[in-house]
Amino acid sequence: ENMMRINKESQNLHSELMLRRVARHAGSGSIADGQAVMRKVLTGAGVSEAGYHFADGSGMSSYNRLSPRAAVGLLGWIARQPWGAAWRETLPIAGRDGTLQNRFKGTILEGKLFAKTGSLNASRALSGYLVTRSGATLIFSALANDMPEDTGGGAKAAVGRALVAIAEAP
């Protein structure tokens, strides 16, 4: 239930507390202990340390970094785990619920895109899974950074158009 709230509703406080909970199992409950667990998981998933830096568990720090390659690598690893399908169910569903409830309505991706959104200052992100017209499941990560003021809506729309075009391609 916590992961549903964290992913579907983008509850940053719950996410930060989850890092502390993981850290408590591994050590003192400190951010450093949580980060050590995250590094271990990401290394086990084959994600290069050059592809990410997490300053907190909530995603609210402007010092957090994640490359699209790292996001896709982690999502691919998750999809191959026995619990991968259950994880996907925690993600917002395009046109249906969570932070994607009002996005992709009336498109080929309504009900067929499962992704985590992100937005902080001049950055917008969308990473997850989509099902194409042919039935293939693709993993994607789209990040827009350092956008001029008031261009976030345009970036979201451009990413949306690109993902719809990919899903519609034969």
Q: Kindly report, residue by residue over 58-77, the tens digit of the pLDDT.
A: 888 888 899 999 999 999 99
Q: Examine the pLDDT at 1 and tell me if it is beyond 80.
A: no
Give 25-60 as a DSSP string.
Answer: HHSSS-HHHHHHHHHHHHHHTT--GGGEE-S-SSS-
Average pLDDT over residues 39-64: 92
Of the two residues 163 and 11, the one the predictor is more confident about is: 163
DSSP code at position 94 = T
Confidence of residue 40 (pLDDT cuts 50, 70, 90): very high
Closest to 112 (Cα-Cα) out of 121, 103, 120: 103
pLDDT greater than 80 at residue 47: yes
pLDDT digits (tens, 9 = 90+) for 137-152: 999 999 988 878 887 7
- Least trusted range by pLDDT, from 63-67, 79-83, 112-116: 63-67
Q: Which two tokens stand for residue 117?
A: 């959104």
Alpha carbon separation from 7 to 12, 14, 97, 132, 159 (Å, rounded): 9, 10, 11, 23, 20
More confident residue, 167 or 10: 167
Mean of the pLDDT values across residues 34-47?
94
Among left, alpha and beta (phi > 0; psi -120 to 50; other), residue 102 is alpha
pLDDT at 122 (0 to 100): 81
Residue 8: which of 116, 131, 141 has the closest Cα?
116
Residue in the structure block whose two tokens are 């950074």? 145
Whole-number pLDDT of residue 19: 87
What is the C-alpha separation between 123 and 141, in angstroms, rounded? 13
Q: pLDDT at position 14, please?
A: 86
pLDDT recorded at residue 60: 84
Give pTM, 2 decimals: 0.91
What number is the average pLDDT over the span 28-35?
89
Instruction: Tell me the helices (H) and strands (E) count for the chain, helix number first.
Output: 6, 5
pLDDT for 143: 92
Structure tokens at 17: 């507390």
